[in-house]
Structure 1
Amino acid sequence: MAQMTMIEAIRDAHDVAMAADDKVVVFGEDVGFFGGVFRCTAGLQEKYGSARCFDAPINESGIVGTAIGMAAYGLKPVIEIQFADYVYPAYDQIVSEAARLRHRSNGDFTCPLVIRMPTGGGIFGGQTHSQSPEAIFTHVSGLKVVIPSNPADAKGLFLSAVADPDPVIFLEPKRLYNGPFDGHHDRPLTSWKKHPLGDVPDGDVSIPLGKAKITREGADVTVLAYGTMVYVAEAAAEEAGVDAEVIDLRTLMPLDLDTIVASVQKTGRCVIVHEATRTSGFGAELMSLVQESCFYHLEAPMIRVTGWDTPYPHAQEWEYFPGPARVGEALKKVMEG
């Protein structure tokens, strides 16, 4: 067990995967010599050579297309899209090729591909470095979608993603890169020093995809969250004085519906929190699933707390984020229902 930031845990997971299987190759913009803009791949090229960790041109479609070919050939590419906002030129490759390869080839080819992307806001990155596009991937059959909230989960889920025979979208919340986020703050902390680190087990410690985690047990309301919003939900429950059960979904596809249903049937209430925009966000799918499975157990209407339906508002970034105050209001409202 070691104390690590999420960046260090992801770097360690790369190292474990590459040491265990020489078919694992890592590439993307600046990931080789420089070690990635967030340093998640620092030292890998030096250790494993430029044939297994190398830089790619600024061409997201080309990066993903090349990785799909490598995966079909038998390699296990792990690629980094420098920011999730940059993935759109490669979306056709992901949807039309990677997600469909197994089925369109009748199982003759698979696509063991991991696409890593820093996601979300909180680093003053503006509109083109702060988006949360998870919903556009959960809609695509054939893709798995992962969003860790802490260093240990980042490592364990990453190792499972690398081992998976199908493409995995691996979204990394930037606000969590340097340690667990202090969810009690609606605005950035006055100091940019590292937050407390997380305990990360040594070696190959895979965490199965599709298994949620209850991070705070409660009896009165279920809160569904992922990524940074897990900490916001926990803080909101404490500040509002509500006995809330917080579930960190960890993977959106496949989704651990059994854990969600068991919790909502116990509490009778549900609040959903995510940073992405409200309309057609993943929260809408969660509401539908909970309604279909738990309608007769619900004691009040479900509530979503989300980002705004606007282009990412750089000047109002911290008003855009769901914070403990907004989530706390939702918790109190659903308890009154």
Structure 2
Amino acid sequence: MTRRTMIEAIRDAIDVSMDRDEKVVVFGEDVGFFGGVFRCTEGLQKKYGTHRCFDTPISETGIVGVAIGMGAYGLRPVAEIQFADYVYPGYDQIVSEAARLRHRSAGDFTAPLVIRMPCGGGIFGGQTHSQSPEALFTHVAGLKTVIPSNPYDAKGLLISAIEDDDPIIFLEPKRLYNGPFNGHHDQPVVPWSKHDLGETPDGHYTVPIGKAAVRREGSALTVLAYGTMVHVALTAAEETGIDAEVIDLRTLVPLDVETIVASVSKTGRCVVVHEATRTSGFGAELAAQVQERCFYHLEAPVLRVTGWDTPYPHAQEWNYFPGPDRVGRALKQAMEG
């Protein structure tokens, strides 16, 4: 076991995968010599050569297109989009080609590729470096969407994603790259502790795609969250003193409906938290799933705590960003319902 940041865990996952399988190739803008803007691929080009870890032109369309072609011909590409905000030029190929390749070819071809993208706010990156576009991918049949909340899961889920035979969108909350936090604007990043799952096994291991994790057991209500918001939800539960059960979804598609239903059926209340915009956000899907499957167990309406329905406001980031205070108010409202 080694104590790692999420950046180090992601790098180690790629390293382990490249060492085990020579078909794994890594590429994107500045990922080679420079090691990526967040250093997630630092040292990999030196270790594996420029034919397996290389820089690309500034062209998301090209990056995604090359990844699809490589996957179709038997390689296992791990492509990095420098920020999730930059993915839109390549979105057409993700939707029209990668997601549909297995089905349109009747299984003759697959697209075993991973598209890694830093996502979310918390670093004052402004409108073009802080978006959370997960709902754009969860809507697309044929894609799997993964968002880890800690180094242990980041490494295990990324290895699982690289070994999967279908295209996977792997979103990495950049606010968690160097350590956890509780969501307050004056709270610094702190080192990962063993309690926070900063301890990650050395070598190869996997975390199953499609399985949620209960981060905090409780009986009063259920909080559904993923990525950065898991830590915000945990802090809100502690600060309010409410006996909340906090579920880290880890994978949005496929969704672990069984764990969600078991928890909400037990607690009778549910609060959904994400930092993406509210309208048509993934929280709407979660609320619908809970209402459809747990209606007769619910003691109060399902509530959502989300970002605003506006472009990401640079100057107001920490108001846009759901924090423990806003989540805590929702928990209290749910308990009063």
TM-score (norm. length: structure 1): 0.98
**Partner in structure 2 of residue 187 of structure 1:** 185
**Partner in structure 2 of residue 120 of structure 1:** 120
**Partner in structure 1 of residue 192 of structure 2:** 196
Q: State the alpha-carbon separation in 1 of the partners of residues 113 and 122 from structure 2.
A: 28
**Partner in structure 1 of residue 62 of structure 2:** 62
The offset of 1:195, in angstroms, is 2.7
The offset of 1:196, in angstroms, is 2.8
**Aligned residue type for 1:248:** D
Q: State the alpha-carbon separation in 2 of the partners of residues 179 and 225 from structure 1.
A: 18
Alignment of 1:38-53 (within 5 A): 38-53=38-53
Query: Structure 1: which 5+ runs fail to align?
Result: none
Q: State the alpha-carbon separation in 2 of the partners of residues 256 and 196 from structure 1.
A: 26
Identity %: 76
TM-score (norm. length: structure 2): 0.98
Q: State the alpha-carbon separation in 2 of the partners of residues 171 and 25 from structure 1.
A: 18
**Partner in structure 1 of residue 79 of structure 2:** 79
**Aligned residue type for 1:313:** P
Deviations 1:227-248, CA, capped at 9 Å, x for gaps: 0000000000111110000000
**Partner in structure 1 of residue 9 of structure 2:** 9
Matched, 1:164 2:164: yes
The offset of 1:203, in angstroms, is 1.1
Deviations 1:180-230, CA, capped at 9 Å, x for gaps: 2x21x42043x56x5335101111110110000000000000000000000
CA contact (8 A) 1:222 1:245 kept: yes
Aligned residue pairs: how many?
333
Alignment of 1:294-305 (within 5 A): 294-305=294-305
**Partner in structure 2 of residue 246 of structure 1:** 246
CA contact (8 A) 1:220 1:242 kept: yes
SS in 1 for 2:232: helix
CA contact (8 A) 1:82 1:118 kept: yes
Range with greater deviation from structure 2 (210-219 or 200-209): 200-209
Deviations 1:293-313, CA, capped at 9 Å, x for gaps: 000000000100000000000
**Partner in structure 2 of residue 220 of structure 1:** 220
Q: State the alpha-carbon separation in 2 of the partners of residues 135 and 218 from structure 1.
A: 28
Q: State the alpha-carbon separation in 1 of the partners of residues 304 and 191 from structure 2.
A: 28
CA contact (8 A) 1:122 1:188 kept: no
Q: State the alpha-carbon separation in 2 of the partners of residues 268 and 315 from structure 1.
A: 38
- Say what the alpha-carbon RMSD is for the aligned residues: 0.8
Runs ≥4 residues deviating over 2 A? 194-197
Q: State the alpha-carbon separation in 1 of the partners of residues 202 and 184 from structure 2.
A: 34
Q: State the alpha-carbon separation in 2 of the partners of residues 38 and 143 from structure 1.
A: 25
Query: Structure 2: which 5+ runs fail to align?
Result: none
Deviations 1:84-126, CA, capped at 9 Å, x for gaps: 0000000000000000000000000000000000000011110
**Aligned residue type for 2:214:** I
SS in 1 for 2:27: strand
Alignment of 1:18-33 (within 5 A): 18-33=18-33
SS in 2 for 1:314: coil
CA contact (8 A) 2:308 2:320 kept: yes
Q: State the alpha-carbon separation in 2 of the partners of residues 136 and 196 from structure 1.
A: 30
Q: State the alpha-carbon separation in 1 of the partners of residues 22 and 310 from structure 2.
A: 44
The offset of 1:179, in angstroms, is 1.3
SS in 1 for 2:169: strand
Q: State the alpha-carbon separation in 1 of the partners of residues 186 and 98 from structure 2.
A: 38
Q: State the alpha-carbon separation in 2 of the partners of residues 120 and 179 from structure 1.
A: 15
Q: State the alpha-carbon separation in 2 of the partners of residues 73 and 134 from structure 1.
A: 28
**Partner in structure 2 of residue 336 of structure 1:** 336
